[in-house]
Structure 1
């Protein structure tokens, strides 16, 4: 009987500890010309991606960038280009943390990258729907996936509004909003 009670206590403490640790995660407010989006950053599961995002945010890098790739029913991507569709100079790529167990579900925030697994720098995307094909399946080039590092906790209506923005081809790039969706700032709160 004592053992069962002790085990139950350990489980409760463990669950409370997890909830407490989750409450300690930093948040970021992405202020756009369409409204504000608040995301919780999963520092325990994606430490490299979160530190990278925080560094770019604190340096002011995201100010004046746009959501340059918007696909309704898929995702919105931004954080690397100016309104003139000019890429900003970024730092070195980071290691891909897609194997962290987090899924590309609606409202999650993940690192954008090229076809090279460890190529993510500043760009990120927000999933508008569940996108399981972007999840980590294995360590192959095709199966590695995209690293989720946060989740929208407020402002999903803003994300949906951005996702519904009319798009077209600009400077040879498809899915660019016809009216720029500008990131005015990204503020980190700990």
Structure 2
């Protein structure tokens, strides 16, 4: 008997509105996904709020201070971008449901990330894409519909009633299993 299996790594973010399931692009962004997985398994994101809503653009979280100025990584400090023009995610760009690292400039990734709410072809390809929502985009939309205190523009700011990531879990899922049985 021989069998082959294709697996994917899925992060599930539990919120009061339901779950958000994200397929992590472990082959396209190995260092970034290792950071996200490591932080998730350590409970780093548990209780952390989505601190920024840019209506029709992004939902951002991952800063335990809730200010947008904090964050850390499993590497002890910030780490480099993984921007490879040959990957499918880079070619597809920032489309609805994409999950990418938030940063303050080149090679300043830590724990903050954002989810694209609507296709954003105007966004420069400066942010490492490391996954995509595969289930629960309605939950993302519900969180993004919360009332905000505009800080960076009329449609960009902090939620009045922030929604927390109650728990983030990681699991392997098998896309398909093919078995061939040989009889002698």
Taking structure 1 as the reference length, the TM-score comes to 0.76
| Contact kept in structure 2, 1:81 and 1:87, CA below 8 Å | no
DSSP-derived class of the 1:187 partner: strand
Where structure 1 has 5 or more consecutive residues not aligned to the other structure, the ranges are 1-16, 137-144
* Alpha-carbon distance, 1:98 to partner: 2.5
Other-structure match for 1:167: 148
DSSP-derived class of the 1:175 partner: strand
Greater relative contact order structure (CA < 8 Å, 6+ sep): 2
Q: 1:109 aligns with which of 84, 99, 106?
A: 99
- Higher helix share goes to which structure? 1
Q: CA RMSD in A?
A: 2.0
| Distance in 2 separating the partners of 1:49 and 1:68 | 21
- Higher strand share goes to which structure? 2
1:44 aligns with 2:44: no
Distance change >3 Å, CA 162–CA 119, structure 1 → 2: same
Q: 2:118 aligns with which of 106, 110, 129?
A: 129
1:97 aligns with 2:82: yes
* Alpha-carbon distance, 1:110 to partner: 0.4
Where structure 2 has 5 or more consecutive residues not aligned to the other structure, the ranges are 173-184
DSSP-derived class of the 2:72 partner: coil
Distance change >3 Å, CA 89–CA 157, structure 1 → 2: closer
1:179 aligns with 2:161: yes
Q: Which range is displaced more, 90-99 or 72-81?
A: 90-99
Q: 1:35 aligns with which of 1, 18, 34?
A: 18
Taking structure 2 as the reference length, the TM-score comes to 0.78
